[in-house]
Structure 1
Amino acid sequence: MKKYKLGYTSGVFDLFHIGHLNILKKAKEQCEHLIVAVSTDELVQSYKNKTPVIPFEERLEIVESITFVDEVVAQMNRDKVAAMEHYQFDVMFVGSDWKGNALFTETEQIFKANDVDVVYFPYTSNTSSTLLTEVLNKIAQPH
């Protein structure tokens, strides 16, 4: 019997790497059913001012193909409280790079009042989509 019945996590999942896989695997180890919300291109553009390298439909397909994932949904906004109300999960899994972020501090208080836990997993600092994009951009630069 796993600690949680319904787990939720979200992300862009651009340039999918081991850090993404680790979060999904660790999340599934703790919940019976794992919902993963993949950010749409429009959402990413709205808060990062850049379009993901891999288009939304392809990122969705990549995440759907992972055995640890039970359900994949489109993330069209960053409102975690609305997600909690809609999906009725009892735990949200997040990378530790978000701990202390204003977006999550208020959300944690609301979750706590609704008996929803937030579990932080260690951020994979040596591998990130941002770092991979920087390396690709350097390679693509004319010499």
Structure 2
Amino acid sequence: MSKIIGYTTGVFDLFHIGHLNILKKAKEHCDYLVVGVTIDELVEYKNVKAVIPYDERKGIVESIKYVDQVVPQTNMDKMEAWKELRFNRMFVGSDWKGTDKWDRYEKEFAKVGVEIIYFPYTKGTSSTRLREVLQKITR
């Protein structure tokens, strides 16, 4: 039986329990977990600047015991990542399920045998929420 390679991506800014949950759950569904950490220049897709620089975010994710390999996420094209990494499963938060973008990804990836697994979004915890709290404290 061949090894199941899993893949997930994220900014992983202001690392919190939601980040840890997705990495732990992902590792439970694969033998080898590759994590794409979004480079600083690409973080702007969320209309914010990362609080923690890429190299430090990468170092944090590399230190998590569930993670086997960290790669830079240099663009949002998941199919391009698949062409390079050849993963069998991709993990993403359930907040993306049913969106036009991820419905298209499901069809594209089904053609190459990649299963997309959605994990429940950790309610009440997000880097956006942490950033808002920090801004209130520092004002």
TM-score class normalised by the smaller sequence: over 0.9
Equivalent residue for 2:63?
65
Superposed CA RMSD in Å reads 1.4
2:25 is aligned with what amino acid? K
1:31 counterpart SS class: coil
Of residues 72, 75, 78 in structure 2, which corresponds to 1:74? 72
Provide the aligned length of Structure 1 versus Structure 2: 139
Alpha-carbon offset, residue 8 of structure 1: 0.1
Q: 2:108 aligns with which of 87, 110, 117?
A: 110
Any stretches of 5+ residues in structure 2 without a counterpart?
none
Partner of 2:52: 54
Distance 1:52 1:60 in 2: 12
Task: Single out whichever of 10-19 and 100-109 deviates more from structure 2.
Answer: 100-109
Alignment of 1:1-143 (within 5 A): 5-45=4-44, 47-141=45-139
Offset, 1:39: 0.2
* Cα deviation code 1:16-38 (max 9, x no counterpart): 00000000001001100000000
Q: Which 4+ stretches in 1 moved above 2 angstroms?
A: none
TM-score between both structures, scaled by the size of structure 2: 0.96
Cα deviation, residue 103, structure 1: 2.2
- Distance in 2 of aligned mates of 1:39 and 1:18: 18
- Give CA deviations for 1:46-73 in whole Å, capped at 9, x if unaligned: x122211111000000000000000000
| Distance (Å, rounded) in 2 between the aligned partners of 1:61 and 1:43 | 18
Q: Does the residue aligned with 2:31 lie in a helix, a strand or coil? A: strand
Structure 1 regions of 5+ residues with no counterpart? none
